[in-house]
Chain A
Amino acid sequence: MMSADYPRSQMAIPVRHPLVHHVNKWVRAVPLYVMLLPTIAYFVIFTYYPLLHSIFISMQNFNLIGNRPYVGLHNYRHVLTDPTFWSSFENTLFLGISILLIGFVAPIIMALSLNEVLSSWLKRTVQMVIYLPHLFSWVVVGGLWIQLLAPDGGLVNAVLQVMGIAPVQFMSDPNLARWVIILVSVWKDVGFNTVIYLAAMVGINPALYESARVDGANRWHEMGYITIPSLARTMQVVGLLSIMGVLRLFDQIYVMRNAVIEPQVNVLMTYVYDMGFQEMNIGRATASALLILIFTLILTLFTQRLIRVDHS
């Protein structure tokens, strides 16, 4: 897409050489692999080795103590035929995709808007304040919003009452509660992603703006023709990161769910959690968690075809 504009690509001089150069390429890459070594070692030891182990567990009737008979794909079969799993899947798609889309656009708007603020005091203050919700754990934030939206004593309903509107049961109406969860999720992390965009904006060459101004461009032109295209790569990365997290939605649901809304807000990860820690069925919980990994892989491969992150 935008990568043609991006300065680094000018350097990538395509070199085609015979076999000798092919070997040389690897020799030259040795220092790079030395740099990668700690990272690769960490992932092999603390991620891939446990993952392999998990695949074994997912095929066991996993008792905490004592024997753990091999049951083949039985756990997977059970999960895949469990209607609760599929209703959680549907909820995950609805909540996850909504959070993904709104959460993708919101920080860009915030960052652009902040970028237009000239007073550096205001800019710094707002920048810090929007980061605040990210510093609180979900237990605190979830509890706070439940309180803010409570029919009795809640700030939002108090405002509505002044406007002559009867108290609304936000958190015990499944349709409203879904949107509350979506918006609170976006609200909590918007500052986090805004920081990424702001850090990227700092990297835009000021000379580009100067020459644009010489050509008589106004702010909207600058935004549309310089700022946004320069952020394209960051958008790709942020978008990809969000997509990979979409099916792992958990904390906000866990702290904000209640009996009435559960069937409409329970997600795949709450399924895993309930299966593992409430029913203590570790084999089945692991199988369902690995299914989430597989679904995420498919989803990511699919979207990577649309936004190619790894090409130069």
Chain B
Amino acid sequence: MRRKKQVGQAAFTTLNVVFLVLIAATMIIPLWNAVAESFSGSFASMRPGILMWPRDFSLSGYTTIWTVLDLWQPFENSVIVSVLGTLLHVLLSALAGYALAQSGMPGRRFVTGLILITMMIPFEAIMIPFYITMQQLGLLNSLAALILSGMVSGFSVLLMRNFFLSIPGDILESAKIDGAGHFRMFWQICMPLSKAGLATVGLFEFVGRWNNLLTTILLINDSTKNTLQVALNALISGGSSTSSGYLITTNVKMAGIIIAILPLIIAYPFAQKYFVRGIFLGANKE
């Protein structure tokens, strides 16, 4: 009996790993293809089909992109907007999520409803008025506008609320008995216990901000304040039906794509650490 069970378990484990590896393989294709094309020679990269290895290995994709687009300034701007914006976003979402997780709070349903509705509004529905509001506040053409827009989102508030709700009641209860107020409970107990949640929301927001295109294009006029995505967009989307005579070879385009996502790939493991090491590691110490 026992042996049979073990064989079954082994088979399950193997199948499971095969399943995951297969799925992961399809997901690595885009990155791999982009890397291979970015290191190809400019002509070789234009031949049709999916590349799995650089053709006529060359660094010209990367050198061209750095000489044509002076990328340091946009890179700095992207870092400022994404880092500050994400920190602010995570803090505000956590604060709101904490408040909405308190079952005794009066008016909670109304506020939750108010926040839920914001998530259903298509940005196109309010794009022009949103722009006008930014103008009225004198924020157009500033990095502050980029940090402020999306300073909090219903998505993150709901997720944070959900993470706070899963904190075991007895931990909170004992803190309450110690006479802790809401701010102390939030900062000293709930926040440290919700690292997985904070990392999740932070990662999502960072990726979203780093890749943001439309808001930046709308709000920024001065090209010294453009972000990396906007600077690269010219290459990646490359006007296709105009008669503009600016040909971007595929290796240059792919180099741009790699440069744009590299910081995200580097940042990922830092966030991932917290998904694996979760709240009970902290809680068990008590």
Contact = CB atoms under 8 A, between A and B. Distances in A.
Q: Do any beta carbons of A and B sit within 8 angstroms of each other in the complex?
A: yes
Interface of A: 6-8, 10-12, 15, 25-26, 28-29, 31-33, 35-36, 38-40, 42-43, 45-54, 57, 110, 113-114, 116-118, 120, 122-137, 139-141, 144, 147-148, 150, 152-155, 187, 191-192, 195-196, 198-200, 202-203, 205-206, 218-219, 233-234, 237, 240-241, 244-245, 248, 269, 272-273, 276, 282, 285-286, 289-290, 292-293, 296-297, 300, 310, 312
A128 to B, nearest CB: 6
B122 A292 contact: yes
A50 B132 CA distance: 8
Contact of B103 (A12, A53, A129): A12
B31 A6 contact: no
A38 to B, nearest CB: 5
B119 A148 contact: no
Interface string B144-167: 000011011001011100110111
B112 A155 contact: no
Nearest to A294: B120
A39 B110 CA distance: 14
Contact of A205 (B121, B168, B203, B264): B168
B210 to A, nearest CB: 9
A203 B31 CA distance: 31
Nearest to B167: A8
Which 7 residue pairs spanning A and B have beta carbons closest together? A202-B278, A289-B125, A50-B129, A53-B129, A153-B49, A11-B169, A39-B96
Nearest to A275: B124
B53 interface: no
B12 interface: yes
B118 A47 contact: yes
Contacts of A7: 166, 168-169
Interface stretch (B62-70, B78-86, B180-188): B180-188
Contacts of B173: 11
Contacts of B200: 195-196, 199
Contact of A8 (B20, B165, B199): B165
B29 interface: yes
B29 A35 contact: no
Contacts of A286: 125, 128
A14 to B, nearest CB: 10
Given A133-B30, A289-B124, A244 B275 contact: no
A38 B152 contact: yes
B205 to A, nearest CB: 12
B165 to A, nearest CB: 5
Nearest to A245: B119
Contact of A35 (B17, B99, B155, B211): B99
A177 to B, nearest CB: 19
Contacts of A123: 276
Q: Which of B149, B155, B165, B186 has the most CB of A within 10 A?
A: B165
10 contacts: A46-B149, A136-B257, A144-B50, A147-B50, A154-B49, A154-B50, A192-B204, A199-B197, A237-B159, A269-B124
Nearest to B198: A199
A310 B34 CA distance: 44
Given A7-B169, A31-B181, A42-B152, A126 B20 contact: yes
Given A133-B27, A199-B275, 5 more contacts: A47-B126, A192-B204, A233-B166, A286-B125, A297-B120
Contacts of A292: 122, 125
Interface string B81-121: 00000000000110110111111111101011011111111
B5 interface: yes
A43 B114 CA distance: 9
Contact of B30 (A125, A144, A273): A144
Given A31-B181, A244-B116, A203 B280 contact: yes
B169 A127 contact: no
Contacts of B122: 248, 269, 272, 289, 292-293
Nearest to A268: B122
Nearest to A286: B125
Nearest to B196: A199
Contact of A141 (B30, B133, B204): B30
A116 B13 contact: yes
B275 A129 contact: no
Contacts of B166: 6-8, 200, 203, 233
A12 B276 CA distance: 30
A11 B167 CA distance: 11
B223 to A, nearest CB: 21
Contacts of B103: 8, 11-12, 312
B130 A36 contact: no
B221 interface: no
Contacts of A141: 30
Contacts of A129: 24, 27-28
B207 interface: yes
